[in-house]
Amino acid sequence: MAIQPSLALTAAADFMEPALAELRKAAPGATLLAMPAADIALCTLPGSIFTLAERWRGQPPIFVRHIHPVQLTTPLRGGTADPHIIQQEVVAEFAELVDPELFFSVQTRVVGKRPYKPFTINRAVSDQLQALTGAPLNVRAPQQIISILATGESAFSGLSLAPHNLSDWAGGEHRFARHDAQISRAEFKLLEAFGCFNLQLPARGRALDLGAAPGGWTRILREKEQYVTAVDPGALHPRLAADKSVRHLPITAEAYLAEGPDKYDLIVNDMRLDARDSARIMNSYARHLYTHGMAIMTLKLPGEQAIQTMQQAAAILQKKYYIRQARQLFHNRQEITLVLEPIHTGR
């Protein structure tokens, strides 16, 4: 009899190896069984997934975006009957375990081209569970989640509390709606960081955006009622150029340092630089943050030396900052996002 997986793990395909290394470090003896897709791993654990989930809930991994337990493995036929098969098996397995007092959601991912969509399964399972349990359905803010991974040959399902999944989005795929005001795709990275890290900004604070053009991050900071100094030789979007609460300095970050920057509540940096060079620039700006201030930056990690580069950049940053959070977010590409707090002498 084949060994059954105990969890499904999701990470960016480019960072699956370091993600699996994080798993083995947190749960020695964990074993990779299969990879239904380049960004999904099915693994066994030597102990309970909830022990691992609690550990990562307190100190999240960098590269693992999402996990969910596998408590039920259902053979599939690979055809149109699969949604009905999944519905029957999942409802029979989990109906008595769903807490009727908590918001729930069903999250399905389908690997490969199948004659059905995730929504078909979500709807079928959630409708029947709601009828049987009375639990309130809330797909935006669930407290408990039934996760289903359908590969064509099998469906791997589990029930867990939302915080134990590391993300309450299926596979950690945090989606944002596009709208007319959007300036760049990079906006989603900053929006996801605010949500993932639960960041709060001071009312009408002062923010510095390094490498701002064309202004996506500046626009998000203005939405959050920050007064923004945008530093970049490139032009900002015309809407931002007309915003009196945006000061555009058409110079480099290094040139602004030479001028003697102001003090800020927040510094953000999404510059396309080698991670180590970007870290050195951020260190130079640390003294220009208020004591209560913070910084958000991305570290670009392309190529085979990504992990070594990350470690070297982190070592540079730790001379001036505490690294409070670090994650490879869904809207990151070959990069990670950091939240930094300046080290102030005399604390």
Q: What is the pLDDT of residue 241?
A: 86
Q: What is the pLDDT of residue 262?
A: 93
pLDDT at 347 over 90: no
Q: Which residue has the tokens 């490879």?
A: 328
Which residues does residue 66 pair with via DSSP β-bridges, in sequence order?
10
Q: Are 260 and 296 in contact (CB under 8 A)?
A: no
Q: Where are the domains of the chain?
A: 7-172, 187-342
Residue range 7-172 forms a domain whose CATH class is alpha beta
Q: Where are the beta strands (DSSP E) in 143-288?
A: 144-150, 154-161, 206-210, 227-231, 246-249, 264-269
- Read off the pTM: 0.95
pLDDT at 289 over 80: yes
Q: What is the pLDDT of residue 345?
A: 67
CATH number assigned to the domain with residue range 187-342, chosen from the 4 options 1.20.1440.60, 3.40.50.150, 3.40.50.2300, 3.50.30.60: 3.40.50.150
How many whole angstroms from its chain centre is CA 4? Answer: 27
Cα→Cα distances 249→213, 231, 245, Å: 11, 5, 13
Q: Where are the beta strands (DSSP E) in the chain?
A: 7-10, 31-37, 40-44, 66-69, 72-75, 104-110, 144-150, 154-161, 206-210, 227-231, 246-249, 264-269, 289-300, 321-327, 335-342
Give which of 96, 95, 124, 97 is closest to 108, Cα–Cα: 124
pLDDT at 346 over 60: no
CA dist 282 and 314 (Å) reads 11
Averaged pLDDT, 78-87 = 96
Please write the tens of the pLDDT for every residue from 305-336: 999 999 999 999 999 999 999 999 999 999 99
The reply to whether 7-172 and 187-342 are identical in fold is: no
Please write the tens of the pLDDT for every residue from 118-166: 999 999 999 999 999 999 999 999 999 999 999 989 999 999 999 999 9
